[in-house]
Amino acid sequence: MEGSIDTLSELRAVFERQRRASRQESPPDHAVRCDRLDRLTAILERYEEDFVAAICADFGHRSPHESRLLDIITAIGDVKEIRRRLKGWMKPRRVPTRLHLRPGHGRVLPQPLGVVGVISPWNFPVYLAFSGLSAALAAGNRVMLKPSELTPRTAALMAKAIGEAFDPAEVTVVLGGPDVGRAFAGLPFDHLLFTGSTAVGRQVARAAAENLTPVTLELGGKSPAVVAPSADLEAAAEKIVYGKMLNAGQICVSPDYALVPRNRVDAFVGAAEKVARRLYPTLATNPDYTSIVSDAHFTRLQALVEDARSKADRLVEVRPTGEPPSNARKMPLTIVVAPEDGAAVMREEIFGPILPVLAYDRLEEAIAYVNSRDRPLALYVFARAPEERDEIIGATISGGVTVNDVLCHVASDTLPFGGVGASGMGAYHGQAGFDTFSQLKPVFYQSRLNGMGLLYPPYGWLSDMAGRLLRKLI
């Protein structure tokens, strides 16, 4: 397939071709970069229905509305916004110059790094591939893209479409399984973006370290939703359930568990159950509800539920009345009330429609619970009282925060998106993505008339006087 490779023997040759092109040719100007971004937009628009169908087939069933909104429309919006702002991002950036170095001045020059590797996941197979791809191309780089093997139809279509629109020296799609993925991560890229699980992220980081390749790791973890005492409980339940059932919970920033005041837990569970039934009155044949991506992931989620049965106060399976269990890997929202810390649902990232609900007595306890665990990729704060909102945000550390909603900080591409600690490192989206994939080269421009000669040897009374003056100026 033109524009893609699927064998280990070709991998290094394509990388070397891109590296030679990036070293031998001048950095692409604004017009070239815009043309590349326009080609990405054209791919998304031309193949929209094909991508929707491919994603649906890969998942077993994926809501067409969710695929259009979350994979296609969002990706198009990001690419167009990058194009609109690109000229300003490319300009040299003047920085302040301290008095003793004037009349010289400093600037930061954004330049392409060279060849960027992008390893994209299966849960949003188009959006998360094109998001990294567009940022890297905007920064003037060549890109090698490795989509997930868990969505093979979508990956193959992406390879076909990109192969039609781009020369392999610009963009190449690499197909294959874990062995190809490991070899890909071991290439000496100028930067490597990985989106996926923390466990695989560690492997990618180790492989990249062999080449001193800088990495941006967008991982996951357990993103809490803190429902403060002042929160609108029904609104909080609606937002959290929506975020937990969207894409069947297969989102790295899906609310993983909820912390709720003890005296409001029963009301919260009742409100969550009511919302789930309203959003998805049926499951098995509901075109709006997405399947779990594979048998292995479905089995893992079922095991989490079974483990929780004996390690929680109660389980609430929000299954439509009279509807038998689905054989299409469609899993009902399962609310796990007061699970033990040792329960698997509290030790592992869930990545599915299972919602643990934990009680707390004082807001400080909820904050301490969040802080006692790995830093989350996302934190959701539900509070009407500004002092509660600000206390939670100020006392916790996370990749990003949305207040009184879910997922919105990711959708806002003017905000950097990234994790911290076990949830990742580095950030991209918007200008943060352009900067991540650029060498922000510091340059000092010396003036013809300057006082640096006063500091040269041989040292004497003049250099002593210059030193005394410098001491005052700094």
Active site residues: 218, 252
Give the pair of three-digit tokens for residue 372: 């006692």
- Residue 34, classed as helix, strand or coil, is helix
C-alpha–C-alpha distance, residues 99 and 132, integer Å: 40
Give the pair of three-digit tokens for residue 206: 């180790």
C-alpha–C-alpha distance, residues 286 and 289, integer Å: 6
- Residue 374, classed as helix, strand or coil, is coil
Number of CB atoms found within 10 A of residue 143's CB: 26
For 197, phi then psi, to 5°, come to -75, 160
332: nearest Cα among 236, 258, 244: 244
Q: How buried is 98 (Cβ within 10 angstroms: 0-12 exposed, 13-18 middle, 19+ buried)?
A: exposed
Residue with tokens 């791809």: 133
50: nearest Cα among 36, 70, 64: 64
Q: Which helix (H) or strand (E) holds 400?
A: strand 400-403
**Residue 147: alpha-carbon gap to chain centroid:** 15
Long-range contacts from 21-28, C-beta under 8 angstroms, 24+ separation: 21/142, 21/169, 22/112, 22/114, 22/115, 22/141, 22/142, 22/190, 23/114, 27/111, 27/112, 27/140, 28/112, 28/140
Positions of E strands within 147-292: 171-174, 191-195, 215-218, 224-227, 257-261
Rounded (10°) CA dihedral 356, 359, 365, 371: 0
Bridge partner list, 441 = 109
C-alpha–C-alpha distance, residues 223 and 360, integer Å: 17
For 445, phi then psi, to 5°, come to -100, 110
Give the pair of three-digit tokens for residue 354: 């299972």
Q: Give yes or no for a cis peptide into 457 (omega within 30° of 0).
A: no
**Positive or negative: CA dihedral 443, 82, 430, 198:** negative
- Give 418's DSSP letter: E
Give the pair of three-digit tokens for residue 102: 């004037």
Give the pair of three-digit tokens for residue 445: 């421009």
Tallying the residues shown for the chain, one arrives at: 474
